[in-house]
Chain A
Amino acid sequence: MSVAQYLAARLALLAGLMTAAALPAHAHQASTAYLDMNWQGTEVNQRVDVALRDLDRDLVLDRNDDGQLSWGEVRQAWPEIEALLTRHVHWQATGARCEPVAAPQPQLAAHGDGQYVVVQTQWRCDAPVQAIQLHYDLFQQTDPDHRALLQVNGTDASNQARAITPGAEAIELVSAAAGSGAAASTGGLSWPALGDMVEQGVHHILIGTDHILFLLALLLPAVLSWRAATGRVDASTPPDRLRTVAVRVFKIVTAFTVAHSVTLALATFNIVSPPTRLVESIIALSIIVAAVSNLFRRGHVPGVAMAFCFGLMHGFGFANALGELALQQGQLAANLLAPNVGVESGQLMIVLGVMPLLWLVRRHATASRWVLQGGSVVIAVMGGVWLAERTLEIQILPV
């Protein structure tokens, strides 16, 4: 078949190629190896990560041709892998002679686009290493797009690796601490700094305030019962004992926990996922209802039913806020457990912190009244602000 015939036969196919930008540019990651060179004194450590896919192309690792690489197949080819890397990734230390300490053990590591072999080698040198002449020409003959991302002596100031194009010329590596050379950076985009991350973390703790206030609105009257707050103690009803109060608090917290665990699970597994705005609005409303009811209730200890009913909504709220965070574990059980453990321990800390304080306040009728009524008013106002923000999608409070 001549070239022209071949192309003519392919014309229809090429028409498909030619829809605008039908060929995506660099859609996957192109072939990339990771090279880490570290040295200190007379010791040199090198780590090379090379994609199994690239090795399979040049060495045929998939011996049984089933399209899958087993660990056995990788181990069988290990001597060839080492030989390939020795041929194409090597170096000399300036002013020192170095010998490998031990043969590298077969290892793997996951990168964003698949599994890589990891070859870690250690050398001892007869003199302190000042600089290294690196030769890198891996896959130069088989993939012109191959690059190695080189890091020298850990991270340099810019925390950026340097991309190496395979070639015949030696690359002079100087320790970042020693000054120039190795600290070349590729520029590009600045990822969020550590400070930002800490700030985001603090944010994340603070945004739970609405759940804390709801719980507080329920705990206030559970400890500072209306009767205690008004000082109306008579002989027919003995004053609450610590144990009675503790049981009451326990019931409320348990009802809240059971309810929000159920909905958190439902949301995490995507069985139910009500609209966020509705959930957040009802959560704000629940705070108002709980707080306002503290102002009007007479002699009745509220809580368990309210904790349960609204707790269901708060569970969806947790899912919104925590669901995504929990997934770093990448495992199903952990996805559910991790956020819940976080929520429960946070909750326990609040209960254990607040309850003794309220118990102390309880001794003084006036203080009790002020804390119960004043606290409830403050909480209700906060709930109102949130309700307005969430239903109207406006921002009242500063971030």
Chain B
Amino acid sequence: MAHGTRTRRHVVSSGVAAVLLGCSVATYAALAKPYTPADDGQVVERLPAPVIAGESRQAERRQRAALRATPSDPALALQAAYQALERMRLSGDARELGQARQVLAPWWRAAQLPPAVRLARAIVLQAGHDFEASLADLDALSTPQSAVPLALSAQATLTRASVLQVQGRWADARRVCDTLNGPAFAPLASRIAPQVAICLTELDSLQGQAPAAQRRLEQMAREAGPSATWLSLVRAELAHRQRDPRAGALYRQALDGRSDVYTLAAYADWLLEQKRPEQVVQLLADTRQADALRLRRCMALQRMNDPRAAAEIAALADTMDTNLARGDLSHAREMALFTLHLRPDPAAALSWAQRNWAVQREPIDAWLLLQAAEAAGQTAAAQPVVDFAQAQGWQDPRIEAARQARPSSKLAASAQPVRGGAQP
């Protein structure tokens, strides 16, 4: 029987998603259908183009050959590991994480290892969401000591602050960041000052001092140094949280020249919130990029009723299936977004958003849990986010709205039928 537009569209889209996912499960058993190209000249696969300026495939091969010859050369391994990490940052390609892990293999389980290798290992662990193991390595490096070069110690300290921030341990992050202003790091003070300032100011901007932080960041931007891109990103995210329309221009500034997955995804989220899906599709034109970006692209295509949506959602569903079957649970954020928007299944979305919140607590993770709780009609499930914001002194318009809606929400939840849609 026909019914309201929202519900109706939901029925259709969830029908589509069910059919697509059903297909993906079905093909999963039978695997994809084999074919034989007719002609030898036919291009069957594009290999990823080198994403780091000055890199080439040949150089990458030479590096691999050199590593095969001397796998325990720390300088060679480090260079390869950082290049793989940088490629992963830019392209989002998880195979690069495998490569970084591979070159660090001789030290992967070592208790004693060169400090620089330990730092690389910590960054790889963080990227794989093994935050506790990552912090253990970073802790060992961030206390200045004679065996660890001071610059490396500073680097480890900054990385440690950012891992703590991702975990939602803002007070710890602030304390760690603050140690860089201490006497131990004085010889480096002028070089690390901008990074330390950004780190502390971003925490200020989250913890109730947004306007002052914004002014300070603007001031820093005028003095633009080597961290200009990072600064633009921090300012863009602050503007985004404050619902300040300047966020768009700041994101574009952060993407100027080179684009990384994190910034692209954040900008795409902002564009989607601004109801500008066409620009998202333009921004994320490559259909073979990181899941996080394919996901945003699919959301945009779906909102535009674009003919390409179904096929791209199906391919993404296939990847999601594979990730699940592999047992990779570091995709909880993507799974939550997927089940919230692309395969509307509010109950699954809520469970993924909760799983994600247990691991990472960035603003996007908080909003995701709020949205998923609302879509599932379980407003009480958003309580951890409200409590978190209160405990941390985080002032956020969306969480404020959820908090104000809460007193009546318990009644509303029992009186209203579960809202069927996962509409944004």
Residues of A within 8 A of B (CB): 1-4, 6-8, 10-32, 34, 36, 47, 49, 52-54, 56-57, 60, 62, 65, 67-72, 74-75, 105-116, 118, 120, 142-147, 149, 151, 154-155, 159-163, 186, 188-189, 191-192, 194, 196-197, 200-201, 203-204, 206-207, 209-210, 267-270, 273, 276-277, 280-281, 319-328, 330, 332, 335, 386, 389-390, 393-399
The CA-CA distance from A36 to B28 in the complex, in Å, is 10
What residues of B have a CB within 8 angstroms of the CB of A144 in the complex? 98, 101-102, 105, 108
- B306's nearest neighbour on chain A, judged by CB, is A270
B6: shortest Cβ distance to chain A, in Å?
Answer: 6
Partner of B328, one of A24, A30, A65: A30
The CA-CA distance from A70 to B292 in the complex, in Å, is 29
Q: Is the CB of A49 within 8 A of B31?
A: yes
Q: Is the CB of B31 within 8 A of A26?
A: no
The CA-CA distance from A200 to B1 in the complex, in Å, is 12
- B99's nearest neighbour on chain A, judged by CB, is A143
What residues of A have a CB within 8 angstroms of the CB of B91 in the complex? 28
Q: Kindly identify, within residues 203 to 245 of chain B, every residue whose CB is under 8 Å from any CB belonging to chain A.
A: 226-227, 229-230, 233-234
Q: Is the CB of B305 within 8 A of A320?
A: yes
Residue from the set B78, B95, B154, B330 with the largest chain A CB neighbour count within 10 Å: B95
The CA-CA distance from A303 to B49 in the complex, in Å, is 60
The CA-CA distance from A61 to B82 in the complex, in Å, is 25
- Count CB-based A-B contacts (< 8 Å): 384
Q: Is the CB of A7 within 8 A of B32?
A: no
Residues of B within 8 A of A (CB): 1-9, 11-16, 18-25, 28-29, 31-37, 39-49, 57-58, 61, 64, 74-75, 78-79, 82, 85-86, 88-89, 91-95, 97-99, 101-102, 105, 108, 114, 116, 119, 123, 126-129, 149, 151-152, 154-155, 158-159, 162, 165-166, 191, 195, 202, 226-227, 229-230, 233-234, 260-262, 265, 288-293, 302, 304-311, 314-328, 330-331, 335, 339, 345, 348, 351-352, 360, 362, 420
Q: Is the CB of A323 within 8 A of B35?
A: no
Q: Is the CB of A11 within 8 A of B128?
A: no
What residues of A have a CB within 8 angstroms of the CB of B108 in the complex? 144
The CA-CA distance from A8 to B226 in the complex, in Å, is 13
Q: Is the CB of B229 within 8 A of A25?
A: no
Given contacts A26-B97, A270-B306, A281-B5, 6 further A-B pairs with CB under 8 A are A27-B292, A28-B91, A60-B61, A151-B29, A191-B321, A325-B310
Partner of A53, one of B29, B45, B291, B318: B45
Q: Is the CB of A200 within 8 A of B19?
A: yes
The CA-CA distance from A67 to B50 in the complex, in Å, is 9
The CA-CA distance from A332 to B311 in the complex, in Å, is 12
Given contacts A23-B89, A30-B95, A186-B327, contact A65 B35 (CB under 8 A): no
Q: Is the CB of B7 within 8 A of A30?
A: no
Q: Is the CB of B44 within 8 A of A393?
A: no
The CA-CA distance from A114 to B306 in the complex, in Å, is 22
A225: shortest Cβ distance to chain B, in Å?
Answer: 29
Q: Is the CB of A19 within 8 A of B230?
A: yes
What residues of B have a CB within 8 angstroms of the CB of A60 in the complex? 61
Q: Is the CB of A4 within 8 A of B102?
A: no
The CA-CA distance from A107 to B35 in the complex, in Å, is 6
Partner of B291, one of A28, A209, A332: A28
The CA-CA distance from A234 to B305 in the complex, in Å, is 54
The CA-CA distance from A47 to B289 in the complex, in Å, is 27
The CA-CA distance from A106 to B11 in the complex, in Å, is 42
The CA-CA distance from A379 to B259 in the complex, in Å, is 56
What residues of A have a CB within 8 angstroms of the CB of B33 in the complex? 109
B266: shortest Cβ distance to chain A, in Å?
Answer: 10
Q: Is the CB of B40 within 8 A of A30?
A: no
What residues of A have a CB within 8 angstroms of the CB of B309 in the complex? 324, 327
Closest 4 CB pairs of A and B: A112-B318, A72-B40, A27-B92, A327-B310
The CA-CA distance from A370 to B67 in the complex, in Å, is 88
What residues of B have a CB within 8 angstroms of the CB of A393 in the complex? 4-6
The CA-CA distance from A311 to B320 in the complex, in Å, is 40
Q: Is the CB of A28 within 8 A of B262?
A: no
A1: shortest Cβ distance to chain B, in Å?
Answer: 7
- B165's nearest neighbour on chain A, judged by CB, is A20
The CA-CA distance from A186 to B39 in the complex, in Å, is 40
The CA-CA distance from A161 to B64 in the complex, in Å, is 32
Q: Is the CB of A67 within 8 A of B18?
A: no
The CA-CA distance from A34 to B260 in the complex, in Å, is 30
What residues of A have a CB within 8 angstroms of the CB of B330 in the complex? 25-26
Partner of A52, one of B44, B82, B305, B320: B44
- B195's nearest neighbour on chain A, judged by CB, is A15
The CA-CA distance from A327 to B12 in the complex, in Å, is 13
